[in-house]
Structures are given as C-alpha cells and as structure tokens.
Amino acid sequence: MFIEQYYNELPAGQINFTRQQASDFAKKVADDFNPLHNIAAKRFCVPGDLLFAVILAKAGLHKQMSFTFSGMVTDAVTLNFPQQIEENDSVNDANGKEYLQIKVSGEHSNNSTLIDSLTKAYVEFSGHTFPHILVKLMAEHKVMINPARPMIMYQSMSIDMFTLVAENISLRLAKTSLSIEGKRGNAWLEFDLLSNNEVIGHGKKHMLLSGLRDYCQDTITQVVEQYNHSKAEFSSAQV
C-alpha cells in the first residue's frame, strides 16, 4: 500500500511518525498546507487523515466506520493501532492515552486496491477543506478564524458505504453547514462516495473552528494568499 512510506513500524508492532513523513503526507498526498503540519512548526501535529489512512491499511475497511479524534499526535508519540476491529477500538500510546476512537459495523474488506482508492480520494477531498470550502462557509456566516493563530481542528469523520465491491472511488461535496457558538464554530461537510459515476455511499466530516471574529474580506484574502504562497513555494522546491 502507498501509505507505508509515511509511517514507521517498530519491532513490537507500534507505529510512529517523523515530522518529515507527516509533513510529506499532508503536502504531497492531501495537498494540505495547514501550518501545523510544517516540519518546523512549534505546535506541530500529525494530520488526522494520516491516522485514518493507517487504520484502513492495518485493520481494513468496514461498510460503516466512524472516527473521533481525542488528542493531537506529535512526532514524539508512539502509538498502538488495532489490527482488527470488531465494533469499538481506539488508538493509544504506551501510557494508555487515547488519541482516536473508532466504531465499525457491517461487512469488512482488506482489498488493498479499494482501500488505497478510498484513502486517496478522501484525503484529497479533506485536504482541500481550507480554503476551498471553509472560506465560503465563513463568508456566508460573516465570521472568520483568527489570522494570527488559525485554529481549525479535525473532530470526527464517518462513512457509510452501500457496497465494498468497487475499485475506483471519488468524492463529491454534497452539503455544508456551520453553527456558531460564541467564538467557536462547528463545521460539517457532507459528501457522496462514487464509483463509475454511481453513488455507493455517503460520509461526513466535522471540524471545530476557534477564535472566531467578524468577517473581513481583506484579511481573509491575505490569509488565503499566504496559504497559496506556501503551496507554490513547496511545488517549486519539488521541481
């Protein structure tokens, strides 16, 4: 599976991530330039989508799966990933601290072609959350994140597939919503899973936005320009 280059498996079966691996996954696979995933970031964290990808690679795909994030993973953390999930399981470190809760039901598959296709499709969709989707949502609700400390935290994700007989998966945004509670916002992105142009499932991603303030188009434009500049710099360096 393509995901194997983005994590390290220790002799005891535990898994950890270097900053380089996590940052490469964010930028090269997810096209995600969140500064929290930069190698030199003071508050560096491993992308939640990378944890999702490793779970599917290790434990396989179920028709119904939900993932709830409960802690930020850094390069200093070594984790235990489940090799098989019956109904409920979790990703924990050596001290028992939980970082991710997983719930599954329905049929199960270890088809690597299906899993790779779904992983790449979802991660690419998820990585484009900002600015492609969230900026429009914030503008509609006349709020924005703090440009000096942009905090957008991945809370949870779920998928519900009608069939596991598919190989080429793509995602299509279906619905978005944002609820505001003071300086915090809950964003929901609902999507369709497709194979050969037929809908074979649905999913939903939940994010928490903190430090909200009144919307300012000039400020948002600067934030997006900086984001795109970082992306262009990285692309130029890869040539």
Q: Is the pLDDT of residue 40 over 70?
A: yes
Asked which of 47-51, 92-96, 151-155, 209-213 is least confident by mean pLDDT, the reply is 151-155
Instruction: Give 204's pLDDT tier (boundaries 50, 70, 90).
Output: very high
Residue 183 belongs to domain spanning: 2-238
117: its two tokens:
């296709």
Structural domains counted in the chain = 1
- Distance CA(228)–CA(53), nearest Å, equals 25
Chain-wide mean pLDDT for the chain?
93
Arithmetic mean of pLDDT, 141-158:
90
CATH of the domain at 74: 2.40.160
Q: Which residues contact 165 (CB under 8 A, 6 or more apart)?
A: none
Arithmetic mean of pLDDT, 40-61:
95
Residue closest to 26 by CA, chosen among 73, 80, 94: 73
- What does the pLDDT look like over 161-192, one tens digit per residue? 999 999 899 999 999 999 999 999 999 999 99
- Distance CA(6)–CA(26), nearest Å, equals 10
What is the pTM (predicted TM-score) of this model?
0.93
- What does the pLDDT look like over 102-134, one tens digit per residue? 999 999 999 999 999 999 999 999 988 988 899
28: its two tokens:
């090269």
- The confidence score (pLDDT) of residue 239 equals 61
